[in-house]
Amino acid sequence: MEVVIAQKQLLHALARTHGATDRKSSVPMLSSVLLRTQNDCLELLATDLFLSATATCSAEVKTAGALAVASKALLDLVKNMPDGPLTLKREGESQLLIQSGKVRFRVPFALPEAFPELPQRPESSPLVFQPADLLQLIARTHFSMLHDDSRPHLSGGLFQGQGSTLRMVSTDGHRLSKAEVEVSGGAYDFSMFIPLRAIGEIKRLAEDLKASSAATKDPAGSAKGESAQAAAGAKAADEKADALELAKEGSHLFVSRSGFSLAVKLSDDAFPPYERVIPKQASKAVLCDRQALQDALRRINLVANDKTGGIRLELEAGKLALVSENPEVGEGREELDADYAGEPLTIGFNARYLLDAVGVLLTERVELALSGELDPGMVIGESDRAGFVGVVMPMRI
């Protein structure tokens, strides 16, 4: 094998496929990237048997071939090579030459026969999404996903599409987040649980696509003299090129964009029935300034118990007080003006959980929907129940 490829192009492809390798595996192939030529392209493949990634980039193929190299070693070398064309050339039976001008490295390689076979993307029509919609859903639910493998049915997010609504739901057992976006012309009907690690890779892929789309678009629009019909066609083509495609086949989810694809082995574990967790109604509603509440939570959290993070909310007519008492650090109290006319109520919550939920709201005012001191509380943007709902379980303080 011998190919010539731009350093930046190879680096970007390696960065995307490296996320699918198993860096702690005792099986060398699972921490390697397979390089193989395809016509006038270089294809990179990586897998840990849970995630599989494929990247394709244009290259000058002088000699066709395939070989596998340790992914991290190759990524580090290419990252530090000079900008410009790189030559990758097999030398003998065990070494790959990487050369740019007077800079040369040789790394060991393995033959491709031992590389695992990757899942094949289905031929069926994929679901199409704009990266901004996926990024918004992930940003508003990622913090309440369980970040360990003790309960795999909670370590990730439930992704659903119903008609024109896209939804993502997550919970770690102590809190729940539900986010929705409306897609003009959408006609979705699906439900799947995406594991946490896969969500991280999908997020990076969507961020890449969003950034590259913004960089290539002409802010002044298309050619000034083109017809309305031509302009509409160009816009439709741009939207298609800017979109992510998702397809499900058997136990695998396939996510792709131009030049890159990701395959995820989906879990068989069932996500809990989240509708039962979200209170249907609340007897008390507190409205206050979102930024003021966010700042107050951040300050009062400084003296909250390190282990529980517990604080008290004390409600009276026209007032919301945040109170924290920690014998090891001290105590704090802050009062906020609030629209509240109900009976006095004292309830405990984890300050960080409230802060995370308030932090993803897009409205100027926040509503805390409460009932009793032992009932779950809801965090909602004022008049934005459809966009985001955060549910936080109470604490005994």
Tens of pLDDT, residues 171-208 = 999 999 999 999 988 899 999 999 999 999 999 999 98
Domain of residue 287, residue span: 278-392
In a domain, 228, yes or no: no
Looking at the fold, whether 300 and 325 belong to one and the same domain comes out as yes
Whether residue 128 has pLDDT greater than 80: yes
Question: Please, what sign has the CA dihedral across residues 23, 21, 97, 258?
Answer: negative
In a domain, 272, yes or no: no
Query: What's the pTM?
Result: 0.87
Looking at the fold, whether 173 and 99 belong to one and the same domain comes out as no
Which CATH number characterizes residue 295's domain?
A: 3.10.150.10
Domain stops at, among 114, 143, 175: 114
d(CA 200, CA 190): 21
CB 46 within 8 A of CB 18: yes
Looking at the fold, whether 160 and 246 belong to one and the same domain comes out as yes
In a domain, 270, yes or no: no
Task: Give me the number of domains the chain comprises.
Answer: 3
Looking at the fold, whether 83 and 132 belong to one and the same domain comes out as no
Residue 228's pLDDT band (boundaries 50, 70, 90)? very low
In a domain, 109, yes or no: yes
Looking at the fold, whether 108 and 136 belong to one and the same domain comes out as no
CB 197 within 8 A of CB 162: no
Nearest to 71 by CA among 33, 26, 39: 33
Average pLDDT taken over every residue of the chain = 90
Model confidence over 252-282: pLDDT tens digits?
999 998 889 999 998 888 899 999 999 998 9
Q: What is the DSSP letter of 395?
A: B
Looking at the fold, whether 40 and 157 belong to one and the same domain comes out as no
pLDDT number for residue 65:
96
Model confidence over 329-338: pLDDT tens digits?
889 999 999 9
Looking at the fold, whether 102 and 18 belong to one and the same domain comes out as yes
Name the one residue in this structure whose structure tokens are 């890159």: 260
CA triplet 185, 271, 243: central angle to 5 degrees? 30
Domain stops at, among 79, 114, 149: 114
Instruction: State whether residue 244 is helix, strand or coil.
Output: strand
In a domain, 224, yes or no: no
Looking at the fold, whether 21 and 145 belong to one and the same domain comes out as no
Looking at the fold, whether 329 and 375 belong to one and the same domain comes out as yes
Domain stops at, among 59, 84, 114: 114
Question: CB-based contacts of 281: which residues, under 8 Å, 6+ apart?
Answer: none
More confident residue, 229 or 140: 140
In a domain, 230, yes or no: no
**Segment 305-314 mean pLDDT:** 88
Model confidence over 330-383: pLDDT tens digits?
899 999 999 999 999 999 999 999 999 999 999 999 999 999 999 999 999 987
**Segment 114-133 mean pLDDT:** 90
In a domain, 94, yes or no: yes
Looking at the fold, whether 46 and 173 belong to one and the same domain comes out as no
Model confidence over 32-78: pLDDT tens digits?
999 999 999 999 999 999 999 999 999 999 999 999 999 999 999 99
Looking at the fold, whether 257 and 350 belong to one and the same domain comes out as no
Looking at the fold, whether 138 and 261 belong to one and the same domain comes out as yes
d(CA 153, CA 175): 15
Amino acid type, 110: A
% of the chain residues with pLDDT over 70:
93
Instruction: State whether residue 29 is helix, strand or coil.
Output: helix
Q: What is the DSSP letter of 217?
A: S
How far from each other are the two terminal CA atoms of the chain, in whole angstroms? Answer: 67
Amino acid type, 119: P
Model confidence over 84-104: pLDDT tens digits?
999 999 999 999 999 999 999
pLDDT number for residue 241:
60
The token pair at 80 is 């530090």
